[in-house]
Chain A
Amino acid sequence: GQQVMQIPQYQHVQEGEDFTTYCNSSTTLSNIQWYKQRPGGHPVFLIQLVKSGEVKKQKRLTFQFGEAKKNSSLHITATQTTDVGTYFCAGGYGGSQGNLIFGKGTKLSVKP
């Protein structure tokens, strides 16, 4: 079945360092979405990528979608303590109901 693998599971960085999390799907995706869940909170939508090779930026966050539409990455430049949380990728496979398969998430901690 469809699976979305996400690495690393945990990442501890010093404030100001960069951070990257990677997602890989076993099959071609129609789209990929990224969510952030703060400690004690619920997932909040960050962005959706649809096109092969697409790159989108949100301030210090850069999202990429692979050419084969099977992998994606989220890169944060110069992390801040406000970036703390778990980042999930979620793969869409084109179902009419918009089901998503979530990766296990990468928990980011930032040391001030």
Chain B
Amino acid sequence: GAVVSQHPSWVICKSGTSVKIECRSLDFQATTMFWYRQFPKQSLMLMATSNEGSKATYEQGVEKDKFLINHASLTLSTLTVTSAHPEDSSFYICSARDHWTPYNEQFFGPGTRLTVL
């Protein structure tokens, strides 16, 4: 149980285009989902917290107009990187909380590797 999927697993796009990444909780309802960015050999940097049916909460320094987050249902959150540039190339990972588990842990998706040319 507690499986989180991400799609696509990797994407290559041209500079200036937008890319949408989907995060789904497959076997549980996730009222809260998180979006992280991970640079090579570095830690997970929390970008934003996404709650179903409400606006996402962005961390300091993360441009909300550039990284659009939508959490329209209890099993799906999307991250759209708008007008992507090469510096946006990174590994994006989502995670989800299952409020019915005994711990407050986050279940992570497999990540999406974004390369902007």
Contact = CB atoms under 8 A, between A and B. Distances in A.
Contacts of B108: 35, 42-44
A45 B110 contact: no
Contacts of B36: 102
Q: Interface extent on A, as a size class?
A: 20 to 34
A97 B97 CA distance: 9
A105 B41 CA distance: 9
Contacts of A107: 41
A98 B104 contact: yes
Interface residues of B, number: 25
28 contacts: A1-B60, A31-B104, A33-B106, A35-B108, A42-B109, A43-B93, A44-B108, A45-B106, A45-B107, A88-B43, A88-B44, A92-B104, A97-B32, A97-B49, A97-B51, A98-B97, A99-B34, A99-B46, A99-B49, A100-B34, A100-B46, A100-B106, A101-B46, A102-B36, A102-B44, A103-B43, A104-B43, A105-B42
Interface of B: 32, 34, 36, 41-46, 49, 51, 57, 60, 93, 95, 97, 103-111
